[in-house]
Structure 1
Amino acid sequence: MATQPVSTPTPRRRSGAARLTRNVLPGVHRLEHAHVNCYLIEEQGEITIIDAALPATWRLLPDVLAALGSAPDAVRAVVLTHAHFDHLGFARAIRREWGVPVLGHPAEAGIAAHPYRYAHESPRLRYPLRYPASLPLLARMAAAGALRVEGLDHLQPLTPGEALDVPGRPQPVFSPGHTFGHCAFLLADRDALLSGDALVTLDPYTAERGPRVVAAAATADVEQAFGSLSALDDTEAHTVLPGHGEPWREGVRRATAQARDAGAR
C-alpha cells in the first residue's frame, strides 16, 4: 500500500502558519511556512533539504526533524532551486550552525551573496495595488523574515543533468527565467519534479492559484521562464512539488499547459 500524506501543524507556529505534510510522496516531506515550501527528502536515514525557505523556518527545523524521527545530524545537504530571499532564508544559519553544505547553480552565486539584488521585469511595488489579495500573503512572508535574509558566499556548485550525490539523488533540470540559474529537480524513482519557482500553484505576488509562472515582479526574464516550461515537460513527471502552493498530481504536461494558458502577470 502506498504511503499516504499526513498533514500536521508544526509544534511552533510563530511568524505565520506552518504545516508539515509527511510523505507527500514516499520519503518526501513538505514543510510549508508563510506560503513558502521546502522539502525534506529521506533516504536510508539521511536527509536532503530542497530550498531554505525563510529565516523563521530555521526555528522550526529541529521540531520538524523530530516529528520525522530524525535529528540535525541526519541532514546532509541543502539544495537550492534558486537563491531568491524566500528560498535562501536559513541557508547561512544551517551551514554555520550544523555544517551543512549548500548547493546551487553557479549563476545563483550573486543572488545568494546579495539576496535583494535580483533581476525582475516589472516594478514590485505596483503589485499589491493591482492584486490586493496578495497583501496578507506578503505580510506573512515578511513576518517570517523575508526582509532580513542573510547572504551566503561560496555556494557549492551543481551541474544540470547530473544527479547529485546527496540523499534522494535529485537531478537538476536547468529551467532559467525566474532567475538565470534556476533549476528544478527530478526525483526519477518517485516520478516527481520539485519545480521551485519555475512553476508554482500559488503566486505570492498576485495570490492567484493553479499552475502558473511567477509574476514579472520576481521573474528575471518572463519569455525565458515560459520557454523553460518545455524542460519541465521533458521530465514527464506525474507529481509536481512547487516552491509555492499545493502539490500537483495530474502530470507535469497538464500543469505547464495551464501555466501557458494563465499567461504572464
Structure 2
Amino acid sequence: MTADGNTPPGIHRSGHAHTTMYLVADGDGVTVVDTGLPAAWPVPLRALRAIGTEPEQVRAVVPTHAHFDHLGLAERLRGQWRVPVWAHPEENFVAAHPSQYQHENSRLWYPLRHPGGVPVLAGMVAAGAPTVNGVTEPSELVPGQELGIPGHPRAVFTPGHCAPRLPGHDAVTTGDALVALAPYPGGAGPQSVSGAATADSARALDSLQALAATRAAVVFPGHGRPWREGVLSAAERAAAAGPP
C-alpha cells in the first residue's frame, strides 16, 4: 500500500497494484472513490485508521466506472459495510460483469508492443484482477447530480464514466477518462486510456472536454500520481498525445 500525504485535507489517496482509491472525508463521514482490486482489502482499513475513522463512518462507494480494476472491492464493501455503490445505469451490465467490457484493441497486443506495461499488468493479475465480483445492487447515479454523501461529489459524465467532481477541494477524480499512468502501454503523464480499455478511443478523447470544463485545480486519476497543474493542462496534454 502507498499513501499520498500531499493530497488536500479531507482526501486520502492510497495505491495498490497500480490502482488507486480515494477516501473523501468530512463531518458526515467518508466516501470511497474507486476500490482497487481484491487483494487491496487491507488498504481501505489502513487508510481509515490513518485519518482517524472506522468502517462504520463510510457512507458510500462511488466507482468512476465499472471496470474490474476500479470495482474490485465494491461488492465486498457494499455487503460487509452496508453502504450503497453508486453507478450510472448504462454501467449496470459491466458492474455485474466487470471483466466483460468492450475494447478496441486486443489486450494481448500491448505486452508485445509495449513491454514497459508488463509489470503493471502482472501486478494487477497478482492482485486478483481475474476474480473481481460484480456489484449486484448498484444505486443509480445521475450525471450532473450532486450526491448527498461526504464530499458532496457531483457526477461529471464522460462516456463510460461519471467522474466525481469534488467542489470543496477544487478537484476531479477521473478514473480512466484521464490517467497519469496507462496500465497497458505503461507510459506516465496525462493521457487518455488505451484502446485495450475503451471501445471508442475517439469518444474517449472527446470526453476530455467535459473534464476540462470543470476547471478543477487538481486531477486525481485512477492510475498514476495526482496532477496538480490543473485539469485544463492535463486535458490538453492528453488530447495532444492521442490514444496510447
TM-score computed with the length of structure 1 as normaliser: 0.90
Counterparts of 2:218 and 2:4 in 1: how far apart (Å)?
15
Q: Root-mean-square deviation (CA), in Å? A: 1.1
User: Which residue of the other structure, out of 173, 180, 192, is the alignment partner of 1:194?
Assistant: 173
Q: 1:47-71: CA deviations, max 9, x gaps?
A: 0000111111123322221121111
Residue type of the partner of 1:216? G
1:78 corresponds in structure 2 to 61
Aligned counterpart, 2:229: 250
Which SS does the other structure have where 2:35 is aligned? coil
Identity of aligned pairs, percent?
50
Q: Tell me if structure 2 keeps the 8 A contact 1:22–1:28.
A: no
CA distance in 1, matches of 2:60, 2:112: 39
1:23 deviation in Å? 5.4
Residue 261 in structure 1 maps to residue 234 in structure 2? no
1:82-101 matched pairs, under 5 angstroms? 82-101=65-84
Kindly provide the CA deviation profile for residues 178-226 of structure 1, in whole angstroms up to 9, marking residues without a partner as x: x3xx111111121111111100000010110110001000112111111
**1:50 maps to amino acid:** V
**Aligned counterpart, 1:41:** 24
CA contact (8 A) 1:52 1:91 kept: yes
Alpha-carbon distance between aligned partners in 2 of 1:239 and 1:213, rounded to the nearest angstrom: 17
Tell me which residue corresponds to 1:68: 51
TM-score w.r.t. the length of structure 2 is 0.97
* From 38, 46, 52, the counterpart of 1:55: 38
Q: What amino acid maps onto 2:185 in structure 1?
A: T
Give the letter for the 1:236 counterpart. R
What is the 5 A alignment of 1:1-265?
18-22=1-5, 24-44=7-27, 46-176=29-159, 179=160, 182-265=161-244
Alignment check: 8 A CA contact 2:28 2:149 kept: no
Aligned length: 244
Unaligned runs of 5+ in 1: 1-17
